[in-house]
Structure formats: C-alpha cells, structure tokens
Structure 1
C-alpha cells in the first residue's frame, strides 16, 4: 500500500523526541518534509529522515503533496498553522494546548469539518496503560461511586527539555500564552475528563509565577475542580519539581483508591476498602527524564484514524474541552472567584 506523506512543522524537542521518531517508526508513514524557522534545525531533521527542509510552512504546504501534518510549534502558532494545513487538504495532529482561546479552537474545528479532514490534539496521557486500566475499572464499577481525586504534573521546567533551553519560547508570554498550565496542566485536565468520563462545571485556581525568573508566564498552579457528577478534586501543574518529575494521579472512590503512576514499580495500585490490594505492572508513562522514553501511541493512533477513516480519540472538540478547563483556571485566578 502507498505510505502516507507526512510533514512535521517545527523541529524542536517535541518533534525530535516524539513526532519524528514515532512517524519514522510507523510502517505506513513516509516523512517527506520538515520545517523550522531555524534553518540548521530543519536541515538536521531533513538529513536524518530523508526529507526536504523548509523554513516557511506556507511554502511547504504550497509545494509538497502532503497527506498529513504534525504541528509542533509554539502555542500561539498552533491554530493558524493547523488551519492553513487543513485548508491545504492535510489531516492535522496538533500539539497541546490546541489553541490560545476558545475562538481559535472553534476555527480549527470548523476548518477540519469544512475540509473533511481529521484534527487530533496530542494529549498522550489517554494512551498510558495505567490510565486506560483505571478508566476500565471505574466504568466496571470496581471503585464504586467516585468522590474525589488529585492529579499532578510537575518537573524542573522546559529549560531542561526545550531545544532553546532557558531562552525557550515557553517563557515568552506572547508565544506561549500560558506556562506550566499549558505545558502540563492541560494534559491532566484532559486525563481526568477521560478517566472519569465526566466534565468540569466549576473551577477555582491559584496561578503564580514563583520559581522562574525573567518570565511572565505561570510556573505554579493549583486548581480545584468540580464535575457535573459532583466529583471534586485538585490539579497541580508545576515547573518547580526540581529533584524529580511527578506525573501521578490518585482517585478516591466508594470501594477503592486507585493510585496511577504513584509508585516507581507498579503503574497502578488499587487499594480496596475490604483490605485487598491489587498491583499492576504495566508499560510505563512517557517521561522527559533520562531513561524514561517510551512511545506515546499518539502518532500510531493518528495514522490509524486516517487509514481507517475513524474519528481520533482526542478530536478538536475534545481538545477544546480540555483547553476550556485551563482557560477557566486562568480566569478564576485573575478574578479571584469560582468560574462556572
């Protein structure tokens, strides 16, 4: 069968460590073009993957015959570049957060519908084995009624991960729009919505810049969430967990407590009220730390959705709902009030 012709727009760390690698590993993909405003970065990726290098995404879209695009750019470019690619007849996999506003998210969703193309947002936490297992247990009723949760995503900050280090766009509000909440918090908002199969109706948040200097984006946030079913819990996003990354979630139910990615050896531990403890050794969660690299399954799912003409698990509407949780948290912190 003919391989899908893929372009990766943005050749920074997320492209280098996730998108390019995983596209290359997919037998149904041919990476034909890459693009980055830093010419050396585009050239290096092009040489490694046998692609054509561009520094202008519009030129790439006009020149190459592309089936699908990975958008791996600073947050403020997610919407305009995704919309341009959709209008050029490409399916789009866009990094998170999908946009910087509800309006932009709506424009992306509309462009996908108008052009009959797939739009997927790269929320990889849904594909983690422990998260999928926890969702299954909750749906089966193993945990009983869910009362509460706490979910956390924190590490030492993007300077340890981004291609530009301390000079990264992550710290520039005009380009990033949002800090740790957009980098990490939106992942956990998406995860909790998915695992609980519930939507959040009230949001209260404290959002601060405390750990990083020379930046005006948030690096600490604690958010209190209330769902449509009355589940309340906390979401923490931080760029100040300097000693070790924390990517854990604990869900408190009527019949059990579920500990996800909270133990170094067991991906999921279920503590039942009858005293029984079940420990699951599952494939690990993706990590930016040394030795923590695993596949995200995002690219494979995206490619499968194109080949089989199925709706991606995290389509534009799903991406927007997770973005809205974060936007509500920002509004809450600004207004010092609960946002419903």
Structure 2
C-alpha cells in the first residue's frame, strides 16, 4: 500500500512536509491546498502535484489516505473536522488546537468516525530523545523521580517566523514554540497526575510594541507515576536545550542542541581518583556522541536514501513511523493525549499570564 497524501497550507512549515512526503517510499504526494492559489501553484509546480484553493474540492477530486495540516492553529479544528468526516486520517502541526476544549472535540470526532489523528511532535524523534526513551523503556533507568527541562534562547514574542497569525497568541512567537519543550518533558516525565497538580509562572521580561502577555515561563507538576517535573522556558537568553532525567538506576543529561546523551550511574561519594576517572569517562562518552553525530552528517552527505534521511530529520522520522502505522492499521506513534496535555500546560501558562479580572468566564 502506498499512502496517497495531500498537504493543506503552503506556508513556511509545509516545505518539510512536502519534501518528506515526496521522498518517502511509503507515500504518494498528490496535491497541495492553500487559500492563496498563487502559493499553491508555486508549491505544486515545485513538486509536480495538483494545486487546490478549496479543501472540499480537494477531498472530492482526490482519493486520499492521509492529510497533513500545516495552516495557522486557528484553522486546525475545522480543517481536521472536514477530513475526519470524509474518513481521511490527519497529521496536524503543533499546536494542534488553541484550547483543550477544541482538542477534546477533535478527540471525540476521531473516536466517533474511527479516523486516526496525530500531532506533529517531531523532536520526539531526535537522536537524543530516541536514545533516552529507549533506555527508559528498557527498565535500566528504573523509576524516574524527577525531570528538569531547560529551554532557553527561544524566539521572542514579536518575531514572525511562522507568520503574523502568531501575534494572536498571548505569548506571540514565543508561545508558538513552547509545545516543543512541553511535549518533550511529557514524553520522558509522564503526564500530570491531574490538572490540580500543575503550577505555572510567567513573566514579561522584554519590551515590545505589541501587547504580549509573557516571554518567560515555568511549569511544575507531579506525574501520575510520582515524578516531580519542572520546565523552564525563556526568550532573551543564550540557547540551551537540555533535559535532566533523574532515575533510580540511571540518570541522564540530554543536550538537545548537540544531540548527546550523558548517562550517570556512579554514586556521589567517590574518592578523588574515582572522581577523576568519572570525569574522563564522561568526556569520552561525550566525544563518542559527537563522533556518532558527525558520522550521521557525513552519511547524509554521501547517501540520499530514505533511511539515512529519517535518522537526520525528525520530521521525516515521524512521517515514516506514522505512514507505517497507517499501512498496518496500527496506533499512531504520537497520541492526541500527548497533545491534550501539551495544550493543558499551555493554558495554565496563559492563565498565569492573564490577570484574573480579564479571564473569560463560562457563560
């Protein structure tokens, strides 16, 4: 089975979808749809596919097995609804919806029609995250007592990397990037025990012409398995993307920029000689990770095959895993439940950034 696929949205983020679907031997990229027909035509010419400016026209004319949604978040629910009601599985760029209520409606639609829906959480397929999650699944890490996510150097609210639609978000472009550290923390630390266990703090550190609510954020929660999880996300600082996983058997430090994983198994009380040996061992492991990454880059330069591409590009890796799941009628590699908790934590940040007197109250 070759999965016939189309992309909705021909903006910035769609390029990685179009290129990945064209290269993937399991998918057949057939169409692009955008309300701006000129933009759709440009993408269609580049990939030799059919352009559309109307989603219902696309679904009526093309026999699709999969739809990728790469439009502004404000449009996601209605586009997904149209596809689901037509029986077409959907992959949706993050954030999947603006609110938890919309996400829950999306879950109900998916369940009612028996149509799988999955979010794009591509950094779960980065080499360091794959290694860490494999070690956790193996049981070697043991019970996880805590997780610390540190994501600094994020884009400030007033940038428009994804388009001016981000300015409708309370945190602007800064908020648009927050799902990445949030879903990464959830993947290794687990989902919160309940919404009551979530603590959120925000601050507006910079000065901007537009009225943004926050550009720094911190989340804390206890997971269902008892892990204490903290996520610190800052703009206006130097980039540092790290995850510390504190396991009973093994602890880990993930450097998500260098894609290295440091494992810590030694006890704290060591002699000076043993501490020196530990320092040498850790440095050697770090160099080994860097060498492996260099080999991966070299392979990508020399080999244009799909398998190598999926090791280098986390988007491609997720597309491949999801296409395999569709072929086998299996579960999606990234669940909507992951997205639900991501948006739940985002809503907690929005609430923390918004004075209580200005928050919307249920009618």
Q: Which TM-score applies when normalising by structure 1? A: 0.82
Equivalent residue, structure 2, for 1:225: 221
Q: Deviations over 1:38-97 (max 9, x none)?
A: 333211111111122222323322333222110011111111111111112211000112
* Contact preservation (8 Å) 1:180, 1:221: no
| Rg larger for | 2
Q: Which whole-Å CA distance do the structure 1 matches of 2:216 and 2:165 have between them?
A: 17
Equivalent residue, structure 1, for 2:72: 74
Decide whether aligned partners of structure 1 residues 145 and 273 sit closer, same or farther in structure 2, where only a CA change above 3 A counts: farther
Q: Deviations over 1:112-143 (max 9, x none)?
A: 22222221111112212211222232344434
Residue 110 in structure 1 maps to residue 104 in structure 2: no
Equivalent residue, structure 2, for 1:249: 243
Equivalent residue, structure 1, for 2:304: none
Residue 268 in structure 1 maps to residue 261 in structure 2: yes
The ranges of structure 1 where at least 4 consecutive aligned residues each deviate by more than 6 angstroms after the TM superposition are 158-161
Decide whether aligned partners of structure 1 residues 214 and 160 sit closer, same or farther in structure 2, where only a CA change above 3 A counts: closer
Decide whether aligned partners of structure 1 residues 298 and 138 sit closer, same or farther in structure 2, where only a CA change above 3 A counts: closer
Runs (5+) with no aligned partner, structure 2: 268-277, 295-300, 302-311, 357-363
Residue 326 in structure 1 maps to residue 320 in structure 2: no
Q: Which whole-Å CA distance do the structure 2 matches of 1:224 and 1:317 have between them?
A: 19
Shift of 1:158: 7.9
Shift of 1:334: 4.1
Q: Which whole-Å CA distance do the structure 1 matches of 2:235 and 2:37 have between them?
A: 29
Higher helix proportion: 2
Decide whether aligned partners of structure 1 residues 311 and 102 sit closer, same or farther in structure 2, where only a CA change above 3 A counts: same
Equivalent residue, structure 2, for 1:206: 201
Q: Helix, strand or coil: the match of 1:324?
A: helix
Decide whether aligned partners of structure 1 residues 39 and 159 sit closer, same or farther in structure 2, where only a CA change above 3 A counts: farther
Equivalent residue, structure 2, for 1:91: 89
Q: How many residues align?
A: 318
* Contact preservation (8 Å) 1:257, 1:272: yes
Which of the numbers 230, 253, 260 marks the counterpart of 1:259? 253
When the two chains are superposed, the root-mean-square deviation of aligned CA atoms in Å is 2.9
Residue 169 in structure 1 maps to residue 165 in structure 2: yes
Which of the numbers 324, 339, 343 marks the counterpart of 1:304? 324
Q: How does 1:175-214 map to 2 (within 5 A)?
A: 179=172, 182-201=175-194, 202-211=197-206, 212-214=208-210
Decide whether aligned partners of structure 1 residues 215 and 42 sit closer, same or farther in structure 2, where only a CA change above 3 A counts: farther
Decide whether aligned partners of structure 1 residues 332 and 21 sit closer, same or farther in structure 2, where only a CA change above 3 A counts: same
* Contact preservation (8 Å) 2:190, 2:223: no
Larger mean CA deviation between 295-304 and 42-51 belongs to 295-304
Runs (5+) with no aligned partner, structure 1: 285-290
Decide whether aligned partners of structure 1 residues 145 and 180 sit closer, same or farther in structure 2, where only a CA change above 3 A counts: farther
Equivalent residue, structure 1, for 2:336: 316
